[in-house]
Amino acid sequence: MQPTTEPLNTRTPIRTTFNPALEDIRMSPIVSISEEARARAKEFEKSGRPFVFFQRGEIDFPTPSFVVEAAKRGLDMGLTKYPKSGGEDFFKEAVAKRLRLDHEAGGIEPAHVVATYGGQEGLELSFKLFKSGAGFSPTWSCALENFVPFAQLDFVEVPLNRDFSVDFDRVESAVRGREFFYLNNPQNPTGKVFSEDELARIVDICTRHGVFVISDEAYEKIVYDGGRHHSLVRVPQDNVITVFTLSKTFAMTGWRLGYVVTRNPKVAKLMRLGNYTQTAGVTTFLQYAAAEAMSNVDGSRRAIATMVAEFQRRRDALFDGLKDLPGVAIDRPAGAFYMFPDFSEFIPRELSGPERNHYVYELLMEHGIASVYGSCFGRHFGDNVRLSFSATPVPVIHDAVERFRRVFR
């Protein structure tokens, strides 16, 4: 073929705006914060002191070995072919059985389960079912920066009260005329675990208004002080969509394994179609290993208990170290592995905008501590900062607390 000789400037210009579903996505500032933290850590560590990474939601535990072994067995068994759309039967059966056991979710059958690539894909597909929705603020940044634009949704944030309690009137006026309410329990970034009563009232409001509830239960097993996480998977209604992941429960963040549960057959069908369209289904030998994680009740309970006990020690070390600092208001997280202190008394009154939003974050960075500023989690908690203790052993937390004491003296 002859190369074209036509000069470039006579051609029709190439499109510079693409589908808004992708163009409108913003990369989470948490990613750029992590990059900045790595760069600043190098500099800081020249002083001979370690840098403290409180910004990440990564876990410093390995995946339990019985799950890893099951993945190898799955490969040896030849589970390397195209998956069944929406999930293999052995996976969905193991999930349904475990949900009935752990959450007393009577009536849950394999047909209610759809396998996804992590909670991330489960949530993305759930959001994509709709055109309008609402959810609490603060909230996990990905919901706002990725799922809302990707689904081209009209989404409204409903602020929690300063103590993270729920204003039900606000929930009610937000869902009126909308299609779903998104809830994350236990919650990232606050560590709040919603009570049974709060959940019942939210479901009741949504049901009265003909609205779906999307319940993101990524941190279902990470609950402290013997407290209980109440899953909405138990609610025998067709307006509830529950999204789970093995990422946090089984320290499997890199495996990308999750699942959606819904008693609504139309929703389950649309999810299967969406999952098939995007990826043609979740890797079969990974589903086999995930089924093993679910079915080995004793092994998984032991692994989870070990992790949660360690997270609780870290939470106590961090909370006890920070709770009396002047100008800092902190709630003791009841679940997940985040703390979301409020610095509004400490930040100079005259500051506003990005300068105010980044004030504490910057100060901590200077002292070798990476955090995430509150404005990443929506428009209502800009004076807060998220601290993750998912990958910081207790001695590191003690060192960090000393630094906080110097900053907030």
Question: Which positions touch ligand PMP (CB under 6 A)?
Answer: 57, 118-120, 140, 184, 188, 216, 218, 245, 247, 253, 258
Q: How far is the CB of 185 from ligand PMP (least distance, A)?
A: 9
What is d(CA 59, CA 283) in angstroms, rounded to the nearest whole number? 23
User: Which candidate, 265, 249, 233, 286, places its Cα nearest to that of 116?
Assistant: 286
Nearer to ligand PMP, 178 or 386 (CB): 386
Nearer to ligand PMP, 141 or 363 (CB): 141
Q: How far is the CB of 240 from ligand PMP (least distance, A)?
A: 17
Q: How far is the CB of 367 from ligand PMP (least distance, A)?
A: 26
Q: How far is the CB of 32 from ligand PMP (least distance, A)?
A: 16
Nearer to ligand PMP, 356 or 371 (CB): 371
CB neighbour list of residue 349: distance below 8 Å, 6 or more residues apart = none
Q: How far is the CB of 121 from ligand PMP (least distance, A)?
A: 7
Nearer to ligand PMP, 233 or 363 (CB): 233
Residue 35 has phi, psi (to 5 degrees) of -65, -45
Nearer to ligand PMP, 267 or 336 (CB): 336
Residue type, 135: G
Nearer to ligand PMP, 183 or 328 (CB): 183
Longest dimension (CA), the chain: 76
Q: How far is the CB of 118 from ligand PMP (least distance, A)?
A: 3
Whether the ω angle into residue 138 lies within 30 degrees of 0, i.e. cis, is: yes
Residue 157 has phi, psi (to 5 degrees) of -90, 130
What is d(CA 214, CA 135) in angstroms, rounded to the nearest whole number? 9
Residue type, 38: R
* Residues 217/248, Cβ–Cβ less than 8 Å: no
CB neighbour list of residue 123: distance below 8 Å, 6 or more residues apart = 142, 143, 147, 214, 216, 243
Q: How far is the CB of 174 from ligand PMP (least distance, A)?
A: 19
DSSP of 231-283: -GGG---TTEEEEEEHHHHTT-TTT--EEEEES-HHHHHHHHHHHHHHHSS--
Structure tokens at 333: 């997280």
Nearer to ligand PMP, 191 or 258 (CB): 258
Nearer to ligand PMP, 191 or 341 (CB): 191
Nearer to ligand PMP, 121 or 198 (CB): 121
What is d(CA 14, CA 10) in angstroms, rounded to the nearest whole number? 12
- DSSP 3-state of 192: coil
Q: How far is the CB of 333 from ligand PMP (least distance, A)?
A: 13
CB neighbour list of residue 353: distance below 8 Å, 6 or more residues apart = none
Q: How far is the CB of 399 from ligand PMP (least distance, A)?
A: 25
- DSSP 3-state of 148: helix
What is d(CA 202, CA 239) in angstroms, rounded to the nearest whole number? 12
